[in-house]
Chain A
Amino acid sequence: MWQALLSYPFLQYALAAGLLASVACGVVGSLVVARRITYLAGAVAHAVLGGMGAARYLQVVHGITWLTPLTGALAAALAAAGVMGLVSLKARQREDTVIGAIWAVGMAVGILFIAATPGYSADLMGYLFGNILMVTPGNLGLMAGLDAVVLLLGLVFFKQLLAVCFDEEFAETRGLPVQWLYLLLLGLTALTVVLLVSVVGIVLVIALLTLPAAIAGHLARRLATIMVLAVAASMLITSGGLALSYRADWPAGATIAALAGAAYLATALGARLLAWHRRRAA
């Protein structure tokens, strides 16, 4: 395994992609889980297919080479987050409907573009379920950039984001620009979704966004601690999943997502057992 890692650059890139994605995933995933906007993140993730499909179409058919699927994903994720933000600020009672609409329509647009793109329908599986083994050094550069943006904004505005997620109304009475902070949270979620799509694919993004944070939630009781633990959990899960998939020749994205699920189940059971044990001892 170690030998393979040393001799195959594509494995090194894959490992680096997993580690880079884990940083944003732990920080933003903890906020998403605490604020309970997992479904909103799911809609953003699925809307990404529209952006990837459109970008690939323009690349292949119209020869716009700089418009990579990852760039398209970024644009679509930010647009979807912007729409979700406006809807929850202006018409909260419609939020649920709009989540469903963005989710399905984003995918539909993606499929239509992929169908219209000559000879590249094989991309679909990669977009949906991840192609971490196809990560290029260029992708890694963009991922590192996204990570830096997410980390910087997350750290600088940590206490404001915490206050808005915990009690938006009180935060407003303290003079915080709560609507902008909510849009910031959605924007960070969009950037993180794009990072994760490269690792596990659109369908499995939710697993990595929520499960490491949920695992950390069993181990700590402060958001900052949960973020650090979630980053660590995500790094272990992506690296472990990658190793497992290489050994067993399983699809990497699905292996990582399944491993995250197993780790969550184990932690949840462990926490239950521990609580039960403490009650009996008391």
Chain B
Amino acid sequence: MSAPSAAVEMAGVDLRLGGVMVLRQVNLTIAQGQFAVLVGPNGGGKTSLLKLMLGLLTPSRGRVRVLGESPRRARRRVGYVPQHLQVDPSFPVTVLDVVLMGRLGRTSPWGGYGRADRQQALAALEHMDMAPLAGRSFGQLSGGQRQRVLIARALVSQPEMLLLDEPSAGMDVVGEHELFDLLDRLHQDITVVLVTHDLGFVSSHFAEAICVNRQVVIHPTRDLGRQAISDLYGQPMRMVQHQHHLPLPGGEHG
């Protein structure tokens, strides 16, 4: 059995999709309560790593444990925020309808949603400052607003861990900043795993980043050229130093 403290444990994980090796020999531990950030180039396997944690993909080799269980079993304890750009904007749902979907698996499987589901959904929207837009069409919202709704949908199932895929896509710097503050507050209570290719977002807030490019390596971020980047982005930032490499306990990265 895995130690209760690990939110995610991957050991010797290979992932092949359609004959292509997407991830190779991944060893990774994310502690419970950690705020972990996955960075790397597009196509490097960040989203696939997230989907392994959700049990949406099955590893070709190796072992994945989430919250001490198999990913499929752990699903109901995990909240997932996919990229909002994948959602069809003309689909006929309101903001509240979308958030209610997060109650599936926790509410009765028959018929409609109950009063308690509705209250929880509204509370989650309130938490995201989106309650006034509950009756609005989801497709009419801006990118940042949609993202907030999808986060509310993930939170309404009261997850122990939150997985977010590129939540800052299509947001401006201010929106990104607000989003981070929000995730930081959530992280007081639950584990947060964030996928992004936005290094600025990472460098300003994290001491280390999980770098994903076929292989997975943990790198520290460091105050280098802080002033220069700060001038560029208008807020304090840190650079990710890829040449520094901390071996994981029990890990075997090359």
Contacts and interface: CB of A to CB of B under 8 A. Distances in A.
A226 B137 CA distance: 13
A159 to B, nearest CB: 6
A250 to B, nearest CB: 33
B93 interface: yes
Determine which residue in A162, A217, A226 has the highest number of CB atoms from chain B within 10 A of its CB, and name it: A162
Contacts of B80: 169-170, 173
B56 A172 contact: yes
Interface stretch (B106-114, B125-133, B180-188, B227-235): B106-114
Given A166-B101, A167-B101, A171-B101, A223 B93 contact: yes
A159 B107 CA distance: 11
A216 to B, nearest CB: 9
Given A156-B111, A167-B82, A222 B94 contact: yes
Contacts of A155: 111
A174 B87 contact: no
B101 A220 contact: no
A264 to B, nearest CB: 16
Tier of interface size on chain B: 20 to 34
Nearest to A30: B92
A167 B92 contact: no
Nearest to B72: A175
A176 interface: yes
A240 B123 CA distance: 47
A91 B79 CA distance: 28
Interface string B157-188: 10000000000000000000000000000000
B92 A174 contact: no
A170 B82 contact: yes
A258 B201 CA distance: 55
A175 B137 CA distance: 26
Interface residues of A, number: 27
Contacts of B97: 162, 222-223
Interface in B94-126: 94, 97-98, 100-102, 104-105, 109-113
B78 interface: yes
Interface string A7-42: 000000000000000000000001000101000000
Nearest to A93: B18
Interface in A149-169: 155-156, 158-160, 162-163, 165-167, 169
A167 B86 CA distance: 9
A173 B87 contact: no
A176 B75 CA distance: 11
A247 interface: no
B54 interface: yes
Most buried by A among B56, B82, B94, B97: B97
Given A156-B110, A156-B111, A167-B87, A175 B92 contact: no
A221 B111 contact: no
8 contacts: A36-B88, A155-B111, A158-B111, A159-B113, A160-B104, A170-B153, A173-B80, A222-B93
